[in-house]
Amino acid sequence: MSAYTDKVLKMVKERNPGEVEFHQAVEEVLESIKVVFDKHPEYEEHGILERLVEPERQIIFRVPWVDDNGNVQVNRGFRIEFNSTLGPYKGGIRFHPSVYSGIIKFLGFEQIFKNALTGRPIGGGKGGSDFDPKGKSDGEVMRFCQSFMTELARHIGDKTDVPAGDIGVGGREIGYLFGQYKRIKNRYEAGVLTGKGLSWGGSLVRTEATGYGLIYILEEMLKENNVSLIDKEVVVSGSGNVAIYAAEKITQLGAKVVAMSDSSGHLYDESGIDLEYIKEIKEVNRGRIKEYLTKYPEAEYCEDCTDIWSMKCDIALPCATQNEMDEESAQKLIDNGVMAIAEGANMPLTPAAAKLIQDNDVYYIPGKAANAGGVATSALEMTQNAMWDHWSFDKVDQKLQQIMINIYKNASQVAKEYGLEGDLVAGANIASFHIIADAMIDHGVI
Ligand SMILES: NC(=O)C1=CN([C@@H]2O[C@H](COP(=O)(O)OP(=O)(O)OC[C@H]3O[C@@H](n4cnc5c(N)ncnc54)[C@H](OP(=O)(O)O)[C@@H]3O)[C@@H](O)[C@H]2O)C=CC1
Ligand SMILES: O=C(O)CCC(=O)C(=O)O
Protein backbone atom coordinates (compact mmCIF):
# COMPACT_ATOMS: atom_id res chain seq x y z
CA MET A 1 0.00 0.00 0.00
CA SER A 2 1.11 3.62 -0.53
CA ALA A 3 0.67 6.24 2.20
CA TYR A 4 -2.40 7.53 0.34
CA THR A 5 -4.08 4.14 -0.11
CA ASP A 6 -3.19 3.21 3.50
CA LYS A 7 -4.89 6.34 4.78
CA VAL A 8 -8.02 5.69 2.72
CA LEU A 9 -8.28 2.04 3.76
CA LYS A 10 -7.96 3.02 7.43
CA MET A 11 -10.71 5.58 6.92
CA VAL A 12 -12.98 2.99 5.23
CA LYS A 13 -12.55 0.59 8.15
CA GLU A 14 -13.28 3.29 10.73
CA ARG A 15 -16.31 4.68 8.92
CA ASN A 16 -17.84 1.28 8.06
CA PRO A 17 -17.24 -0.84 11.18
CA GLY A 18 -17.85 -4.56 10.88
CA GLU A 19 -18.53 -4.44 7.13
CA VAL A 20 -15.81 -6.96 6.37
CA GLU A 21 -16.79 -7.78 2.78
CA PHE A 22 -16.69 -4.08 1.92
CA HIS A 23 -13.25 -3.71 3.58
CA GLN A 24 -12.03 -6.73 1.58
CA ALA A 25 -13.27 -5.36 -1.76
CA VAL A 26 -11.76 -1.92 -1.12
CA GLU A 27 -8.44 -3.37 0.06
CA GLU A 28 -8.14 -5.55 -3.03
CA VAL A 29 -8.67 -2.57 -5.34
CA LEU A 30 -6.40 -0.19 -3.39
CA GLU A 31 -3.60 -2.76 -3.23
CA SER A 32 -3.55 -3.11 -6.99
CA ILE A 33 -3.93 0.57 -7.91
CA LYS A 34 -1.34 1.91 -5.45
CA VAL A 35 1.18 2.03 -8.34
CA VAL A 36 -0.93 4.69 -10.05
CA PHE A 37 -0.45 7.52 -7.53
CA ASP A 38 3.27 8.18 -8.02
CA LYS A 39 2.66 8.77 -11.72
CA HIS A 40 -0.61 10.65 -11.15
CA PRO A 41 -0.47 12.90 -8.07
CA GLU A 42 -3.52 14.77 -9.41
CA TYR A 43 -5.78 11.94 -8.20
CA GLU A 44 -4.77 12.51 -4.58
CA GLU A 45 -5.01 16.29 -5.01
CA HIS A 46 -8.62 15.87 -6.17
CA GLY A 47 -9.46 13.52 -3.29
CA ILE A 48 -10.56 10.84 -5.76
CA LEU A 49 -10.18 7.83 -3.46
CA GLU A 50 -11.85 9.50 -0.48
CA ARG A 51 -14.87 10.24 -2.68
CA LEU A 52 -14.86 6.91 -4.51
CA VAL A 53 -15.14 4.83 -1.32
CA GLU A 54 -18.07 6.87 0.03
CA PRO A 55 -21.41 5.99 -1.61
CA GLU A 56 -23.23 8.96 -3.10
CA ARG A 57 -26.45 7.80 -1.43
CA GLN A 58 -27.46 4.90 0.84
CA ILE A 59 -31.10 3.96 1.21
CA ILE A 60 -32.26 1.50 3.89
CA PHE A 61 -35.95 0.78 4.24
CA ARG A 62 -38.56 -1.41 5.90
CA VAL A 63 -40.25 -4.04 3.72
CA PRO A 64 -43.45 -5.29 5.39
CA TRP A 65 -45.44 -8.08 3.73
CA VAL A 66 -48.01 -10.74 4.60
CA ASP A 67 -47.15 -14.44 4.31
CA ASP A 68 -49.52 -17.21 3.19
CA ASN A 69 -50.61 -17.81 6.79
CA GLY A 70 -51.72 -14.22 7.19
CA ASN A 71 -48.75 -13.27 9.40
CA VAL A 72 -47.00 -9.93 8.96
CA GLN A 73 -43.31 -10.29 8.10
CA VAL A 74 -40.72 -7.51 8.03
CA ASN A 75 -37.48 -7.51 6.04
CA ARG A 76 -34.87 -4.85 5.45
CA GLY A 77 -34.32 -3.38 1.99
CA PHE A 78 -31.20 -1.65 0.67
CA ARG A 79 -30.18 0.36 -2.36
CA ILE A 80 -26.70 1.79 -2.37
CA GLU A 81 -26.24 4.33 -5.14
CA PHE A 82 -22.49 4.30 -5.17
CA ASN A 83 -21.18 6.34 -8.05
CA SER A 84 -22.93 8.04 -10.98
CA THR A 85 -19.88 9.53 -12.70
CA LEU A 86 -20.23 7.50 -15.88
CA GLY A 87 -24.01 7.20 -16.05
CA PRO A 88 -27.12 6.20 -14.07
CA TYR A 89 -26.42 3.88 -11.12
CA LYS A 90 -26.55 0.32 -12.45
CA GLY A 91 -26.38 -2.99 -10.66
CA GLY A 92 -28.42 -5.90 -9.45
CA ILE A 93 -30.65 -6.64 -6.49
CA ARG A 94 -29.86 -9.60 -4.23
CA PHE A 95 -32.44 -11.41 -2.09
CA HIS A 96 -30.61 -13.64 0.38
CA PRO A 97 -30.73 -13.99 4.18
CA SER A 98 -27.04 -12.99 4.45
CA VAL A 99 -27.68 -9.53 2.97
CA TYR A 100 -26.67 -6.54 5.12
CA SER A 101 -25.04 -3.20 4.34
CA GLY A 102 -21.49 -4.66 4.14
CA ILE A 103 -22.51 -7.07 1.36
CA ILE A 104 -24.41 -4.45 -0.63
CA LYS A 105 -21.55 -1.96 -0.28
CA PHE A 106 -18.96 -4.47 -1.46
CA LEU A 107 -21.10 -5.35 -4.46
CA GLY A 108 -21.86 -1.69 -5.24
CA PHE A 109 -18.18 -0.75 -4.99
CA GLU A 110 -17.15 -3.59 -7.35
CA GLN A 111 -19.91 -2.59 -9.73
CA ILE A 112 -18.40 0.90 -10.30
CA PHE A 113 -15.21 -0.63 -11.72
CA LYS A 114 -16.89 -3.47 -13.60
CA ASN A 115 -19.32 -1.11 -15.29
CA ALA A 116 -16.49 1.21 -16.35
CA LEU A 117 -14.75 -1.75 -18.02
CA THR A 118 -17.78 -2.44 -20.22
CA GLY A 119 -17.29 0.88 -22.03
CA ARG A 120 -21.01 1.62 -21.58
CA PRO A 121 -22.27 4.81 -19.87
CA ILE A 122 -23.31 3.26 -16.55
CA GLY A 123 -22.46 4.16 -12.97
CA GLY A 124 -22.38 1.69 -10.08
CA GLY A 125 -25.00 0.68 -7.53
CA LYS A 126 -26.43 -2.40 -5.86
CA GLY A 127 -29.42 -3.31 -3.75
CA GLY A 128 -31.11 -6.16 -2.00
CA SER A 129 -32.82 -7.53 1.02
CA ASP A 130 -32.35 -10.17 3.71
CA PHE A 131 -35.55 -11.80 2.36
CA ASP A 132 -35.06 -15.49 1.52
CA PRO A 133 -37.10 -16.50 -1.56
CA LYS A 134 -36.25 -20.16 -0.98
CA GLY A 135 -39.32 -22.15 0.02
CA LYS A 136 -41.67 -19.18 -0.48
CA SER A 137 -44.79 -19.45 -2.65
CA ASP A 138 -45.16 -17.33 -5.80
CA GLY A 139 -47.76 -15.26 -3.93
CA GLU A 140 -45.36 -14.55 -1.06
CA VAL A 141 -42.57 -13.58 -3.45
CA MET A 142 -44.98 -11.31 -5.35
CA ARG A 143 -46.19 -9.55 -2.21
CA PHE A 144 -42.64 -9.09 -0.98
CA CYS A 145 -41.52 -7.66 -4.37
CA GLN A 146 -44.48 -5.29 -4.47
CA SER A 147 -43.69 -3.97 -1.00
CA PHE A 148 -39.97 -3.66 -1.83
CA MET A 149 -40.76 -1.69 -5.00
CA THR A 150 -43.32 0.54 -3.27
CA GLU A 151 -40.40 2.14 -1.42
CA LEU A 152 -37.69 1.70 -4.09
CA ALA A 153 -39.79 3.30 -6.86
CA ARG A 154 -39.20 6.83 -5.57
CA HIS A 155 -35.43 6.41 -5.89
CA ILE A 156 -35.01 4.77 -9.31
CA GLY A 157 -35.70 5.64 -12.95
CA ASP A 158 -34.35 4.94 -16.43
CA LYS A 159 -31.98 7.91 -16.17
CA THR A 160 -31.37 7.71 -12.42
CA ASP A 161 -30.82 4.19 -11.18
CA VAL A 162 -31.52 0.95 -13.07
CA PRO A 163 -31.61 -2.24 -10.96
CA ALA A 164 -31.50 -5.83 -12.31
CA GLY A 165 -31.19 -9.35 -10.89
CA ASP A 166 -28.52 -11.02 -8.76
CA ILE A 167 -28.65 -13.94 -6.32
CA GLY A 168 -32.29 -14.81 -5.61
CA VAL A 169 -33.63 -12.33 -8.16
CA GLY A 170 -34.41 -13.69 -11.62
CA GLY A 171 -37.11 -13.23 -14.25
CA ARG A 172 -40.00 -13.92 -11.86
CA GLU A 173 -38.89 -11.27 -9.35
CA ILE A 174 -38.05 -8.68 -12.05
CA GLY A 175 -41.59 -9.20 -13.41
CA TYR A 176 -43.24 -8.50 -10.05
CA LEU A 177 -40.94 -5.52 -9.41
CA PHE A 178 -41.61 -4.05 -12.86
CA GLY A 179 -45.38 -4.52 -12.55
CA GLN A 180 -45.45 -2.62 -9.26
CA TYR A 181 -43.21 0.18 -10.59
CA LYS A 182 -45.48 0.66 -13.62
CA ARG A 183 -48.55 0.71 -11.39
CA ILE A 184 -47.08 3.31 -9.03
CA LYS A 185 -45.71 5.60 -11.75
CA ASN A 186 -48.53 5.13 -14.30
CA ARG A 187 -45.84 5.16 -16.96
CA TYR A 188 -44.33 2.42 -19.16
CA GLU A 189 -40.70 3.18 -18.43
CA ALA A 190 -39.12 0.01 -19.82
CA GLY A 191 -35.54 1.09 -19.11
CA VAL A 192 -36.03 1.31 -15.35
CA LEU A 193 -35.11 -2.35 -14.80
CA THR A 194 -33.15 -4.86 -16.88
CA GLY A 195 -33.52 -8.61 -17.14
CA LYS A 196 -37.14 -8.13 -18.21
CA GLY A 197 -39.26 -10.70 -20.05
CA LEU A 198 -38.80 -10.73 -23.82
CA SER A 199 -42.36 -9.64 -24.60
CA TRP A 200 -42.20 -6.57 -22.29
CA GLY A 201 -38.90 -4.89 -23.04
CA GLY A 202 -36.31 -7.54 -22.21
CA SER A 203 -33.29 -8.23 -24.37
CA LEU A 204 -32.38 -11.51 -25.97
CA VAL A 205 -29.14 -12.91 -24.46
CA ARG A 206 -29.54 -11.11 -21.08
CA THR A 207 -30.42 -14.43 -19.42
CA GLU A 208 -27.32 -16.10 -20.83
CA ALA A 209 -25.05 -13.03 -20.79
CA THR A 210 -23.06 -13.34 -17.57
CA GLY A 211 -22.25 -17.01 -18.11
CA TYR A 212 -21.61 -16.67 -21.84
CA GLY A 213 -19.50 -13.54 -21.29
CA LEU A 214 -17.41 -15.41 -18.73
CA ILE A 215 -16.56 -18.05 -21.30
CA TYR A 216 -15.93 -15.51 -24.08
CA ILE A 217 -13.29 -13.72 -22.01
CA LEU A 218 -11.79 -17.02 -20.81
CA GLU A 219 -11.60 -18.26 -24.40
CA GLU A 220 -9.89 -15.03 -25.47
CA MET A 221 -7.30 -15.25 -22.70
CA LEU A 222 -6.55 -18.90 -23.44
CA LYS A 223 -6.37 -18.22 -27.19
CA GLU A 224 -3.75 -15.52 -26.53
CA ASN A 225 -1.78 -18.22 -24.73
CA ASN A 226 -2.34 -20.88 -27.41
CA VAL A 227 -4.56 -23.02 -25.21
CA SER A 228 -7.78 -24.59 -26.52
CA LEU A 229 -10.96 -25.36 -24.59
CA ILE A 230 -11.51 -28.66 -26.38
CA ASP A 231 -11.73 -31.63 -23.98
CA LYS A 232 -10.85 -29.56 -20.93
CA GLU A 233 -12.54 -30.78 -17.73
CA VAL A 234 -14.43 -28.04 -15.94
CA VAL A 235 -15.81 -27.58 -12.43
CA VAL A 236 -18.54 -24.93 -12.03
CA SER A 237 -19.79 -23.97 -8.59
CA GLY A 238 -23.43 -22.99 -8.18
CA SER A 239 -26.31 -23.95 -10.44
CA GLY A 240 -28.02 -20.60 -10.78
CA ASN A 241 -28.15 -18.14 -13.64
CA VAL A 242 -24.42 -17.57 -14.05
CA ALA A 243 -23.35 -21.18 -13.48
CA ILE A 244 -25.88 -22.72 -15.88
CA TYR A 245 -25.03 -20.48 -18.84
CA ALA A 246 -21.28 -20.61 -18.22
CA ALA A 247 -21.60 -24.41 -18.26
CA GLU A 248 -23.73 -24.26 -21.42
CA LYS A 249 -21.29 -22.10 -23.39
CA ILE A 250 -18.13 -23.93 -22.35
CA THR A 251 -19.81 -27.23 -23.28
CA GLN A 252 -20.75 -25.80 -26.70
CA LEU A 253 -17.08 -24.91 -27.17
CA GLY A 254 -15.92 -28.48 -26.60
CA ALA A 255 -15.13 -28.70 -22.88
CA LYS A 256 -16.75 -31.09 -20.41
CA VAL A 257 -18.41 -29.91 -17.18
CA VAL A 258 -17.97 -32.63 -14.57
CA ALA A 259 -19.16 -30.92 -11.37
CA MET A 260 -21.74 -28.36 -10.25
CA SER A 261 -23.23 -27.42 -6.88
CA ASP A 262 -25.85 -25.58 -4.89
CA SER A 263 -25.72 -24.35 -1.31
CA SER A 264 -26.56 -27.87 -0.04
CA GLY A 265 -23.87 -29.87 -1.83
CA HIS A 266 -22.12 -30.75 -5.07
CA LEU A 267 -22.46 -33.28 -7.86
CA TYR A 268 -19.74 -35.05 -9.80
CA ASP A 269 -20.58 -36.80 -13.07
CA GLU A 270 -17.48 -37.97 -14.86
CA SER A 271 -19.35 -38.50 -18.14
CA GLY A 272 -20.34 -34.84 -18.17
CA ILE A 273 -23.24 -33.10 -16.44
CA ASP A 274 -26.60 -33.23 -18.27
CA LEU A 275 -27.30 -29.50 -18.31
CA GLU A 276 -30.83 -29.73 -19.68
CA TYR A 277 -31.71 -31.79 -16.64
CA ILE A 278 -30.02 -29.27 -14.32
CA LYS A 279 -32.11 -26.53 -15.96
CA GLU A 280 -35.27 -28.55 -15.37
CA ILE A 281 -34.38 -29.09 -11.69
CA LYS A 282 -33.26 -25.52 -11.01
CA GLU A 283 -35.04 -23.21 -13.46
CA VAL A 284 -38.36 -25.02 -13.83
CA ASN A 285 -38.87 -26.87 -10.54
CA ARG A 286 -36.74 -24.62 -8.25
CA GLY A 287 -35.45 -27.88 -6.74
CA ARG A 288 -32.20 -29.11 -5.19
CA ILE A 289 -29.23 -30.27 -7.24
CA LYS A 290 -29.28 -33.59 -5.39
CA GLU A 291 -32.38 -34.51 -7.42
CA TYR A 292 -29.99 -35.15 -10.35
CA LEU A 293 -29.38 -38.58 -8.79
CA THR A 294 -32.95 -39.69 -9.54
CA LYS A 295 -32.10 -39.77 -13.26
CA TYR A 296 -28.33 -40.37 -12.93
CA PRO A 297 -27.83 -42.62 -9.87
CA GLU A 298 -24.23 -43.30 -10.94
CA ALA A 299 -23.29 -39.63 -10.39
CA GLU A 300 -21.69 -38.78 -7.04
CA TYR A 301 -23.20 -36.30 -4.57
CA CYS A 302 -21.45 -34.78 -1.55
CA GLU A 303 -23.19 -32.66 1.05
CA ASP A 304 -20.25 -30.29 1.54
CA CYS A 305 -20.55 -27.71 -1.28
CA THR A 306 -17.03 -26.29 -0.73
CA ASP A 307 -15.60 -29.77 -1.35
CA ILE A 308 -16.33 -29.17 -5.05
CA TRP A 309 -12.83 -27.64 -5.27
CA SER A 310 -11.23 -31.00 -4.48
CA MET A 311 -12.57 -32.37 -7.80
CA LYS A 312 -9.81 -32.69 -10.40
CA CYS A 313 -10.21 -30.27 -13.28
CA ASP A 314 -8.38 -28.11 -15.83
CA ILE A 315 -10.64 -25.10 -15.40
CA ALA A 316 -12.50 -23.90 -12.30
CA LEU A 317 -15.38 -21.44 -12.60
CA PRO A 318 -16.60 -20.16 -9.22
CA CYS A 319 -20.13 -18.96 -10.04
CA ALA A 320 -21.95 -19.09 -6.69
CA THR A 321 -21.07 -16.44 -4.11
CA GLN A 322 -18.41 -14.36 -2.36
CA ASN A 323 -15.50 -16.06 -0.57
CA GLU A 324 -16.62 -19.50 -1.69
CA MET A 325 -13.02 -20.56 -2.40
CA ASP A 326 -10.51 -20.27 0.43
CA GLU A 327 -6.77 -20.90 0.45
CA GLU A 328 -7.16 -24.59 1.27
CA SER A 329 -9.56 -25.09 -1.65
CA ALA A 330 -7.24 -23.17 -3.97
CA GLN A 331 -4.35 -25.39 -2.88
CA LYS A 332 -6.39 -28.51 -3.72
CA LEU A 333 -7.10 -27.18 -7.20
CA ILE A 334 -3.40 -26.41 -7.73
CA ASP A 335 -2.38 -29.86 -6.47
CA ASN A 336 -4.82 -31.35 -8.98
CA GLY A 337 -3.29 -29.38 -11.85
CA VAL A 338 -5.84 -26.61 -12.43
CA MET A 339 -4.78 -24.39 -15.32
CA ALA A 340 -7.29 -21.51 -15.30
CA ILE A 341 -9.77 -19.87 -12.94
CA ALA A 342 -12.33 -17.32 -14.14
CA GLU A 343 -14.70 -15.71 -11.64
CA GLY A 344 -18.38 -15.80 -12.57
CA ALA A 345 -19.37 -14.74 -9.06
CA ASN A 346 -18.44 -11.45 -7.40
CA MET A 347 -15.32 -11.82 -5.20
CA PRO A 348 -15.56 -15.63 -4.94
CA LEU A 349 -11.92 -16.08 -3.87
CA THR A 350 -10.66 -15.03 -0.45
CA PRO A 351 -7.61 -12.74 -0.66
CA ALA A 352 -5.34 -15.63 0.40
CA ALA A 353 -6.80 -17.92 -2.29
CA ALA A 354 -6.36 -15.25 -4.97
CA LYS A 355 -2.73 -14.70 -3.96
CA LEU A 356 -1.98 -18.42 -4.01
CA ILE A 357 -3.52 -18.81 -7.45
CA GLN A 358 -1.51 -15.88 -8.83
CA ASP A 359 1.73 -17.05 -7.19
CA ASN A 360 1.29 -20.44 -8.87
CA ASP A 361 0.91 -19.02 -12.37
CA VAL A 362 -2.64 -20.22 -12.86
CA TYR A 363 -4.41 -18.11 -15.51
CA TYR A 364 -6.78 -15.98 -13.46
CA ILE A 365 -9.51 -13.53 -14.51
CA PRO A 366 -11.12 -11.54 -11.68
CA GLY A 367 -14.89 -11.12 -11.51
CA LYS A 368 -14.89 -7.42 -12.36
CA ALA A 369 -13.68 -8.32 -15.83
CA ALA A 370 -14.92 -11.88 -16.16
CA ASN A 371 -18.56 -11.45 -15.14
CA ALA A 372 -19.08 -8.02 -16.72
CA GLY A 373 -21.04 -9.54 -19.62
CA GLY A 374 -24.24 -9.49 -17.57
CA VAL A 375 -24.26 -5.81 -16.83
CA ALA A 376 -22.91 -5.02 -20.32
CA THR A 377 -25.91 -6.77 -21.83
CA SER A 378 -28.17 -4.95 -19.39
CA ALA A 379 -26.76 -1.75 -20.89
CA LEU A 380 -27.60 -3.15 -24.34
CA GLU A 381 -31.14 -3.77 -23.04
CA MET A 382 -31.31 -0.11 -21.92
CA THR A 383 -30.16 0.98 -25.38
CA GLN A 384 -32.89 -1.07 -27.05
CA ASN A 385 -35.48 0.33 -24.63
CA ALA A 386 -34.38 3.90 -25.37
CA MET A 387 -34.66 3.19 -29.12
CA TRP A 388 -37.99 1.31 -28.79
CA ASP A 389 -36.21 -1.51 -30.60
CA HIS A 390 -35.59 -5.23 -30.17
CA TRP A 391 -32.41 -6.76 -31.55
CA SER A 392 -31.85 -10.36 -32.71
CA PHE A 393 -30.06 -12.92 -30.55
CA ASP A 394 -27.04 -12.93 -32.87
CA LYS A 395 -26.72 -9.16 -32.86
CA VAL A 396 -26.69 -8.94 -29.04
CA ASP A 397 -24.45 -11.99 -28.73
CA GLN A 398 -21.88 -10.51 -31.13
CA LYS A 399 -21.86 -7.23 -29.22
CA LEU A 400 -21.39 -9.15 -25.97
CA GLN A 401 -18.47 -11.12 -27.44
CA GLN A 402 -16.81 -7.95 -28.65
CA ILE A 403 -17.25 -6.24 -25.26
CA MET A 404 -15.64 -9.21 -23.47
CA ILE A 405 -12.73 -9.30 -25.91
CA ASN A 406 -12.22 -5.55 -25.43
CA ILE A 407 -12.25 -5.95 -21.64
CA TYR A 408 -9.57 -8.62 -21.88
CA LYS A 409 -7.40 -6.58 -24.25
CA ASN A 410 -7.78 -3.40 -22.21
CA ALA A 411 -6.97 -5.07 -18.87
CA SER A 412 -4.01 -6.96 -20.29
CA GLN A 413 -2.64 -3.89 -22.11
CA VAL A 414 -2.88 -1.68 -19.00
CA ALA A 415 -1.19 -4.37 -16.88
CA LYS A 416 1.65 -4.40 -19.40
CA GLU A 417 1.94 -0.59 -19.34
CA TYR A 418 2.44 -0.73 -15.58
CA GLY A 419 5.05 -3.49 -15.85
CA LEU A 420 2.62 -6.11 -14.51
CA GLU A 421 2.20 -8.27 -17.60
CA GLY A 422 -0.33 -11.09 -17.16
CA ASP A 423 -1.79 -9.63 -13.95
CA LEU A 424 -5.42 -9.12 -14.94
CA VAL A 425 -6.43 -8.12 -11.40
CA ALA A 426 -4.13 -5.10 -11.58
CA GLY A 427 -4.98 -4.50 -15.23
CA ALA A 428 -8.76 -4.50 -14.67
CA ASN A 429 -8.58 -2.35 -11.52
CA ILE A 430 -6.15 0.21 -12.96
CA ALA A 431 -7.88 0.46 -16.36
CA SER A 432 -11.27 1.11 -14.80
CA PHE A 433 -9.87 3.41 -12.11
CA HIS A 434 -8.34 5.71 -14.75
CA ILE A 435 -11.68 6.01 -16.58
CA ILE A 436 -13.63 6.83 -13.42
CA ALA A 437 -11.03 9.10 -11.80
CA ASP A 438 -10.51 11.20 -14.94
CA ALA A 439 -14.28 11.67 -15.34
CA MET A 440 -14.61 12.60 -11.64
CA ILE A 441 -11.98 15.31 -12.16
CA ASP A 442 -13.97 16.59 -15.16
CA HIS A 443 -17.09 16.92 -12.96
CA GLY A 444 -15.41 18.92 -10.19
CA VAL A 445 -15.68 18.21 -6.48
CA ILE A 446 -19.16 16.75 -6.04
N1 LIG B 1 -26.97 -12.75 -12.49
C2 LIG B 1 -26.05 -11.97 -13.05
O3 LIG B 1 -26.24 -11.45 -14.16
C4 LIG B 1 -24.77 -11.72 -12.38
C5 LIG B 1 -24.41 -12.39 -11.22
N6 LIG B 1 -23.17 -12.22 -10.70
C7 LIG B 1 -22.74 -12.94 -9.51
O8 LIG B 1 -22.77 -14.33 -9.78
C9 LIG B 1 -23.03 -15.07 -8.57
C10 LIG B 1 -24.23 -15.99 -8.80
O11 LIG B 1 -25.36 -15.18 -9.14
P12 LIG B 1 -26.63 -15.80 -9.88
O13 LIG B 1 -26.24 -16.98 -10.67
O14 LIG B 1 -27.30 -14.66 -10.54
O15 LIG B 1 -27.51 -16.22 -8.64
P16 LIG B 1 -28.60 -17.39 -8.55
O17 LIG B 1 -29.43 -17.04 -7.40
O18 LIG B 1 -29.23 -17.61 -9.87
O19 LIG B 1 -27.71 -18.67 -8.24
C20 LIG B 1 -26.84 -18.73 -7.16
C21 LIG B 1 -26.35 -20.15 -7.09
O22 LIG B 1 -25.27 -20.24 -6.15
C23 LIG B 1 -25.61 -21.24 -5.20
N24 LIG B 1 -25.00 -20.91 -3.93
C25 LIG B 1 -25.24 -19.88 -3.11
N26 LIG B 1 -24.42 -19.93 -2.06
C27 LIG B 1 -23.64 -21.00 -2.24
C28 LIG B 1 -22.59 -21.59 -1.53
N29 LIG B 1 -22.17 -21.06 -0.36
N30 LIG B 1 -21.99 -22.69 -2.04
C31 LIG B 1 -22.43 -23.24 -3.20
N32 LIG B 1 -23.41 -22.72 -3.92
C33 LIG B 1 -24.01 -21.64 -3.43
C34 LIG B 1 -27.11 -21.23 -5.13
O35 LIG B 1 -27.57 -22.43 -4.55
P36 LIG B 1 -29.02 -22.55 -3.89
O37 LIG B 1 -29.93 -22.84 -5.04
O38 LIG B 1 -28.89 -23.63 -2.92
O39 LIG B 1 -29.30 -21.21 -3.26
C40 LIG B 1 -27.42 -21.13 -6.62
O41 LIG B 1 -27.24 -22.35 -7.27
C42 LIG B 1 -23.19 -14.01 -7.49
O43 LIG B 1 -21.95 -13.77 -6.89
C44 LIG B 1 -23.62 -12.78 -8.28
O45 LIG B 1 -23.32 -11.59 -7.59
C46 LIG B 1 -22.23 -11.41 -11.31
C47 LIG B 1 -22.55 -10.71 -12.44
C48 LIG B 1 -23.87 -10.74 -13.00
O1 LIG C 1 -27.27 -6.37 -15.04
C2 LIG C 1 -27.08 -5.63 -14.09
O3 LIG C 1 -27.43 -4.47 -14.02
C4 LIG C 1 -26.41 -6.11 -12.83
C5 LIG C 1 -25.57 -7.31 -12.90
C6 LIG C 1 -24.92 -7.47 -11.57
O7 LIG C 1 -25.58 -7.36 -10.55
C8 LIG C 1 -23.50 -7.66 -11.48
O9 LIG C 1 -22.80 -7.39 -12.44
O10 LIG C 1 -23.02 -8.09 -10.41
349 Cα–ligand 1 center, Å? 14
279 labeled binding residue: no
Q: Are residues 74 and 154 in the same domain?
A: yes
**Residue 407 maps to a domain:** no
CA 33 to the chain's CA centroid: 21
Structurally, how many domains does the chain consist of? 2
Q: Are residues 235 and 341 in the same domain?
A: yes
Q: Are residues 153 and 45 in the same domain?
A: yes
d(CA 205, CA 249): 12
**Residue 420 maps to a domain:** no
d(CA 252, CA 271): 15
Amino acid at 113: F
- CATH number (domain holding residue 71): 3.40.50.10860
Q: Are residues 185 and 217 in the same domain?
A: no
Q: Are residues 55 and 128 in the same domain?
A: yes
Q: Are residues 181 and 220 in the same domain?
A: no
Ligand 2: atom nearest CA of 371 is 9
Q: What is the pLDDT along the chain (446 residues), one digit of tens a residue?
A: 789 999 999 999 999 999 999 999 999 999 999 999 999 999 999 999 999 999 999 999 999 999 999 999 999 999 999 999 999 999 999 999 999 999 999 999 999 999 999 999 999 999 999 999 999 999 999 999 999 999 999 999 999 999 999 999 999 999 999 999 999 999 999 999 999 999 999 999 999 999 999 999 999 999 999 999 999 999 999 999 999 999 999 999 999 999 999 999 999 999 999 999 999 999 999 999 999 999 999 999 999 888 999 999 999 999 999 999 999 999 999 999 999 999 999 999 999 999 999 999 999 999 999 999 999 999 999 999 999 999 999 999 999 999 999 999 999 999 999 999 999 999 999 999 999 999 999 999 99
Q: Are residues 223 and 181 in the same domain?
A: no
Say yes or no: CB of residue 239 within 6 Å of ligand 1.
yes
CA angle in degrees (0–180, nearest 5) for 219-223-226: 140
378 labeled binding residue: yes
Q: Are residues 227 and 180 in the same domain?
A: no
CA angle in degrees (0–180, nearest 5) for 231-232-237: 130
Say yes or no: CB of residue 305 within 6 Å of ligand 1.
yes
Structure pTM?
0.98
Strands 340-342 and 124-129 come out as: unpaired
Q: Are residues 100 and 220 in the same domain?
A: no
**Residue 227 maps to a domain:** yes
Q: Are residues 29 and 69 in the same domain?
A: yes
Q: Which domain holds residue 153?
A: 3-189
Bridge partners, 79 (sequence order): 59, 127
Closest CA to 127 of 147, 150, 99: 99
Say yes or no: CB of residue 125 within 6 Å of ligand 1.
no
**Residue 437 maps to a domain:** no
- Domain boundary among the residues 125, 157, 189 is at 189
Q: Are residues 13 and 129 in the same domain?
A: yes
The answer to whether ipTM exceeds 0.90 is yes
**Residue 403 maps to a domain:** no
Q: Are residues 51 and 157 in the same domain?
A: yes
Ligand 2: atom nearest CA of 195 is 1
**Residue 85 maps to a domain:** yes
